[in-house]
């Protein structure tokens, strides 16, 4: 699909993300979304993580191109419960292997993982095994915008807007009633971006590293 924007902006075209895009997406993630634990786990883990968005039946993974070159990407899902179940059931060992390999090479990161995440992940896995309904009425309606990043030399040209608009339209087609995302509390540029696109602030939350995040919601209908 091609979205001609305004005369001052280049033409942005969107397509579905493919396996060959993963190295570029991982690179964009590492330099633009550098603060997460996943980045600390390294590119192999990130690469495995992004593959889950190519295999999940509920995932949306888009690439934006400008003049035939990758300009940015967006990943998310139209059903958080289905996507989560897919990751737990079909991808957990591959992800765990990639994560464990990385932890084995980094003792300090292993200590951090044990301190901040091990219990939570174990509880999550147990919950997922014990309660695996085929999607509750509530979960079927909730989608998540997980990550978006645009090349810094192509920002403020409507590329991010094109990606988010496409994601919201896909969610609408899937009957999603609530979309969620989180932006770092110190990422005021992203907050302005989402607010400009109609997302509403919902709550402020702390992650296991005590970093603050603002959650945003949008009704795509």
Give the residue with the Cβ less far from ligand COA, 67 or 138.
67
Q: Which stretch binds ligand COA (CB under 6 A): 16-24, 105-113, 136-144, 154-162?
A: 154-162
Token output for 202 = 């919902």
Alpha helices in 106-187 (DSSP H): 107-116, 118-130, 137-140, 159-173
b vs e for 40-75, b when ≥16 Cβ sit within 10 Å of the residue's Cβ? bbbbebbbbbbbbbeebebbbbbbbbbeeebbbbbb
Q: Which stretch binds ligand COA (CB under 6 A): 80-88, 126-134, 189-197, 201-209?
A: 189-197
Check the CA dihedral 34-36-42-48 and report its sign.
Answer: negative
Q: Give residues 92-151 in contact with ligand COA (rule: CB under 6 A).
A: 148-150
| Candidate residues 44, 84, 92, 155; the one interacting with ligand COA per rule CB under 6 A | 155
From residue 28 to residue 57, the character string flagging contacts with ligand COA as x (rule: CB under 6 A) and all else as - is ----xx------------------------
Q: Which residue is nearest to ligand COA (CB)?
A: 160
Q: In whole angstroms, how close is the CB of 213 to ligand COA at the nearest point?
A: 9
Give the residue among 78, 77, 62, 1 at the shortest CA–CA distance from 28: 62
Question: CA 220 to CA 214: how far, in whole Å?
Answer: 19
Q: Which stretch binds ligand COA (CB under 6 A): 34-42, 48-56, 82-90, 192-200?
A: 192-200
Cβ count within 10 A of residue 195 = 13
Query: Quick one: which H or E segment has residue 81?
Result: helix 80-86
- Using CB under 6 A as the binding rule, whether residue 179 contacts ligand COA is answered as no
The stretch among 40-48, 109-117, 135-143, 152-160 that binds ligand COA (CB under 6 A) is 152-160
Q: Is 157 in the site for ligand COA (CB under 6 A)?
A: yes
Secondary structure of residue 99 in the 3-state scheme: helix
**Running DSSP on this structure, what letter comes out for residue 198?**
T
Shortest distance (Å) from residue 19 CB to ligand COA: 22
Which residues of the chain form contacts with ligand COA (CB under 6 A)?
32-33, 148-150, 155-161, 183, 187, 189-190, 192-193, 196
């Amino acid at each position: 699909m091609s979205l001609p924007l305004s005369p001052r902006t280049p033409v942005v075209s969107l397509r579905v993300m493919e396996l060959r895009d993963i190295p570029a997406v991982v690179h964009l993630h590492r330099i633009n979304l550098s603060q997460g634990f996943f980045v600390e786990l390294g590119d192999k883990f990130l690469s495995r993580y992004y593959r889950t968005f190519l295999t999940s039946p509920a995932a949306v993974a888009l690439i934006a191109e400008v003049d035939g070159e990758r300009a940015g990407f967006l990943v998310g899902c139209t059903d958080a419960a289905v996507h989560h179940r897919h990751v737990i059931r079909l991808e957990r060992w591959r992800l765990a292997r990639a994560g464990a390999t990385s932890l084995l090479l980094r003792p300090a990161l292993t200590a951090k993982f044990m301190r901040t995440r091990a219990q939570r992940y174990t509880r999550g896995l147990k919950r997922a095994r014990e309660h695996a309904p085929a999607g509750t009425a509530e979960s079927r309606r909730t989608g998540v915008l997980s990550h978006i990043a645009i090349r810094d030399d192509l920002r403020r040209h409507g590329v991010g807007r094109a990606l988010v608009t496409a994601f919201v339209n896909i969610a609408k087609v899937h009957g999603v009633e609530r979309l969620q995302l989180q932006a770092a509390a110190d990422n005021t540029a992203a907050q302005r971006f989402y607010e400009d696109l109609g997302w509403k602030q919902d709550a402020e939350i702390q992650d296991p590293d005590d970093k603050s995040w603002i959650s945003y919601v949008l009704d795509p209908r």
